[in-house]
Amino acid sequence: AQTVTQSQPEMSVQEAETVTLSCTYDTSENNYYLFWYKQPPSRQMILVIRQEAYKQQNATENRFSVNFQKAAKSFSLKISDSQLGDTAMYFCAFMKGETSGSRLTFGEGTQLTVNP
Amino acid sequence: EAGVVQSPRYKIIEKKQPVAFWCNPISGHNTLYWYRQNLGQGPELLIRYENEEAVDDSQLPKDRFSAERLKGVDSTLKIQPAELGDSAVYLCASSSYGPWGEQFFGPGTRLTVL
């Protein structure tokens, strides 16, 4: 079974600054995907970024980037130039690579607050 | 393109009462998921459908929970009878076929059992 751990229940950052959210996971799988999801108060889960385990290059999406350390089973999210709209709960998630859809295994979440 | 639609958004019931949640996935998505999210935690999968077939229901408490996906489109999740511990947000998601097909989530139904 897979487990995902987020050790930071809450974090805060000043607007325009950079913040890093941590995530570690445990699996015996070789083929898998890792994700960061954002959940604002509206409860709508929104995909922020994904990383394929077979790719060494870290994924980047505009202000969001990840630091994927496969050997250490670490997957952190860096948010640059933080904006007020980034305030939300952030979840790290794991998914086995299969021929079709698979379940997402989520961490406990990190509540990020961006202060003006 | 319309997203995943869920109803109702909120539901308050007394324990031992039945309750049902409805989900309409994104058009063309063959895979549908029901997750339960307890307060302060990440979502956990209850059941996954590939078209009409439930292919992963290992986490579904089958003594009181049931689900169906008729015609491989809409889905209903039912709890009968509800218990206090069932209070949570129930999220529906859908994805298209593929090794990592992105899961698109609905807004969820917040259930409160009194």
Write the pLDDT tens digit of every residue in B37-68: 999 999 999 999 999 999 889 899 999 999 99
Best residue in B34, B45, B105, B109 for a mutation probing chain A (most A CBs within 10 Å) = B105
Give the whole-angstrom CA distance, residue A108 versus residue B5.
25
Could you tell me how many CB contacts below 8 A there are between chain A and chain B? 63
CB B33 within 8 Å of CB B47: yes
CB B103 within 8 Å of CB A50: no
Asked if pLDDT for residue B1 goes beyond 80, the answer is: no
Chain B residue numbers with beta carbons less than 8 Å from the beta carbon of A43 are 89, 91, 107-108, 110
Supply the pLDDT for residue A72. Answer: 95
Supply the pLDDT for residue A75. Answer: 97
Best residue in A5, A47, A104 for a mutation probing chain B (most B CBs within 10 Å) = A104
Asked if pLDDT for residue A42 goes beyond 90, the answer is: no
Asked if pLDDT for residue A101 goes beyond 80, the answer is: no
Instruction: Tokens for B72, please give them.
Output: 């491989």
The percent of residues above 90 in pLDDT, for chain A, comes to: 83
Note whether A103 contacts B101, CB cutoff 8 Å: no
Task: Dump strand ranges (E) for chain A.
Answer: 3-5, 10-14, 19-21, 24-26, 32-39, 46-52, 60-61, 64-69, 74-79, 88-96, 105-106, 110-115
Residue in this structure with the two tokens 């994104």, named with its chain if needed? B26
Supply the pLDDT for residue A99. Answer: 63
Supply the pLDDT for residue A22. Answer: 98
Chain B residue numbers with beta carbons less than 8 Å from the beta carbon of A54 are none
Confidence class of residue B104 from pLDDT cuts 50, 70 and 90?
A: very high
Give the whole-angstrom CA distance, residue A70 versus residue A66.
12
Note whether B99 contacts A98, CB cutoff 8 Å: yes
Closest Cα in chain B to A33: B100
Confidence class of residue B102 from pLDDT cuts 50, 70 and 90?
A: confident
Give the whole-angstrom CA distance, residue B75 versus residue B64.
17
CB contact A104 to B (< 8 Å): yes
The percent of residues above 70 in pLDDT, for chain A, comes to: 97
Quick one: B67 exposed, middle or buried, by C-beta within 10 A (0-12, 13-18, 19+)? buried
Supply the pLDDT for residue A79. Answer: 98
Angle at B85 between CA A90 and CA A41, to 5 degrees: 30
Supply the pLDDT for residue B72. Answer: 83
Residue in this structure with the two tokens 């980037």, named with its chain if needed? A65
Note whether B48 contacts A103, CB cutoff 8 Å: yes
Residues in Cβ contact with A1 at an 8 Å cutoff, skipping those fewer than 6 apart = none
The percent of residues above 70 in pLDDT, for chain B, comes to: 97
Segment B73-97 shows an average pLDDT of: 95
Asked if pLDDT for residue A12 goes beyond 90, the answer is: yes
Instruction: Tokens for A29, please give them.
Output: 């799988």
Residue of A94, A61, A95 lying closest to A78 (CA atoms)? A61
Give the whole-angstrom CA distance, residue A17 versus residue A95.
30
Confidence class of residue A56 from pLDDT cuts 50, 70 and 90?
A: confident
